[in-house]
């Protein structure tokens, strides 16, 4: 999953980004002003956006209005210092999905971010099951047929993304887009490495292949 954090208070943005990376294993991009945020939001596919309202150059509400006008469905969590009714109503009506008032708890921020990603993917339960595969997005654990499977961080991220797009063809480009942040060099062959590692671990003691390869198109998770 890939998250965009738009926050001009650099230290706060860094802390949020670090927490999202460490505790949820998300790829995080940080924008320090509204224009940069808009540029990133328009040029990349994010699974959720964390947006501050008081931003230099382009303020949060305007940014929100712009991305909603362009038809983006990315869930938006607004980080605001204002908790008065009027501003909450205004931000929700501008297209925000949720809000958190500063100062917030990083644990709550993580939980809300995860919830927004789930809802954005049409997957309300934090424990996703596909056939006999069970993925717990809260503890970040994976089981197949009751057997716990230990995955590397990157393998988990690939599987988490696929689990949220079940029975859909997911291209390598899409995977790269959602698993790496802006600063990474993107090589499509690393995806193949993770997929083969995943297949090996998931298929231990099971004959049925969960991840199908569609040549030239991508991968599909099926039960």
Partner 1 sequence: MRRDSIQRRLIASVLLSQAILTAGLMVIGVVVTYWRLLSTLDVSMQAHATSVAVLVRYTEDASGHVYFDNSLLPESIDPNHPDQFMVWADRTGYLTRSEDWPEGLQFEPGPSQHWNFTWAGVPYHAVRMNHVPILDREEGKAFQPQTLTIVYASPTVRIQQQVKAALASIVLASLLLLGATTWLASWRIRRGLLPLQILARQASLVSTQSWKLQPPREAEDIEELRPLTESMTQMLARLEYSFKQQREFVGNAAHELKTPVAVLKSTLQSLSQRPRSSEEYLAGVQASLQDLDRLEQLLQRMLRLARAEQWAQNAQGRQLDVIDLNSTCEEAVERIRSLAQSRSTSIHLATDGRVPILADPEDLQLVWTNLLENAVRYSPEGSSVEVAVARSGDKARISFQDHGAGISPSDLPRIFDRFYRGDPSRTRATGGFGLGLAIVKALVEAYGGTIAAESAPGKGTRMTVELPVSQP
The contact set with partner 1 (CB under 8 A) reads 8-9, 11-12, 15-16, 18-19, 22-23, 32-33, 54-57, 79, 81-82, 84, 101-107
Q: Rounded to the nearest whole angstrom, what is the least distance from the CB of residue 103 to partner 1 in the complex? A: 4
Q: Rounded to the nearest whole angstrom, what is the least distance from the CB of residue 188 to partner 1 in the complex? A: 32
Q: How far apart are CA 183 and CA 147, in angstroms?
A: 36
Distinct helix (H) and strand (E) counts, the chain? 8, 11
Q: How far apart are CA 7 and CA 49, in angstroms?
A: 11
Tell me whether residue 107 or residue 145 sits nearer to partner 1 (CB atom): 107
Contact assessment for residue 5 and residue 16, using Cβ atoms and an 8 Å cutoff: yes
What are the residues whose beta carbons fall under 8 Å from the beta carbon of 216, sequence distance 6 or more?
none
Helix (H/G/I), strand (E/B), else coil: 41: helix
Tell me whether residue 9 or residue 174 sits nearer to partner 1 (CB atom): 9
For the chain, state the CA radius of gyration: 18
Tell me whether residue 18 or residue 147 sits nearer to partner 1 (CB atom): 18
Q: Rounded to the nearest whole angstrom, what is the least distance from the CB of residue 142 to partner 1 in the complex? A: 21
Tell me whether residue 19 or residue 44 sits nearer to partner 1 (CB atom): 19
Q: How far apart are CA 76 and CA 64, in angstroms?
A: 8
Tell me whether residue 36 or residue 134 sits nearer to partner 1 (CB atom): 36
Q: Rounded to the nearest whole angstrom, what is the least distance from the CB of residue 87 to partner 1 in the complex? A: 9
Place of tokens 């990083």: 106
Q: Rounded to the nearest whole angstrom, what is the least distance from the CB of residue 39 to partner 1 in the complex? A: 15
């Amino acid at each position: 999953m890939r998250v965009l954090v738009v926050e001009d208070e650099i230290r706060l943005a860094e802390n949020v980004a670090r927490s999202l990376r460490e505790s949820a294993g998300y790829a995080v991009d940080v924008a320090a002003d509204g224009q940069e945020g808009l540029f990133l939001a328009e040029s990349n596919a994010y699974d959720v956006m964390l947006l501050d309202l008081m931003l230099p150059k382009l303020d949060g509400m305007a940014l929100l209005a712009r991305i909603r006008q362009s038809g983006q469905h990315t869930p938006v969590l607004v980080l605001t210092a204002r908790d008065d009714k009027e501003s909450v109503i205004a931000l929700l009506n501008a297209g925000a999905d949720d809000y958190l008032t500063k100062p917030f708890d990083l644990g709550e921020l993580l939980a809300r971010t995860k919830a927004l990603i789930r809802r954005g993917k049409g997957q309300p339960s934090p424990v996703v099951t596909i056939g006999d595969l069970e993925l717990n997005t809260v503890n970040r654990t994976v089981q197949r047929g009751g057997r716990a499977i230990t995955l590397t961080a990157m393998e988990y991220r690939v599987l988490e993304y696929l689990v949220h797009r079940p029975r859909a063809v997911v291209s390598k480009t899409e995977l790269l887009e959602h698993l790496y942040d802006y600063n990474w060099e993107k090589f499509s062959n690393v995806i193949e490495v993770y997929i083969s590692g995943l297949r090996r671990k998931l298929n231990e003691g099971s004959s049925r292949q969960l991840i199908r390869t569609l040549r030239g198109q991508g991968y599909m998770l099926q039960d």
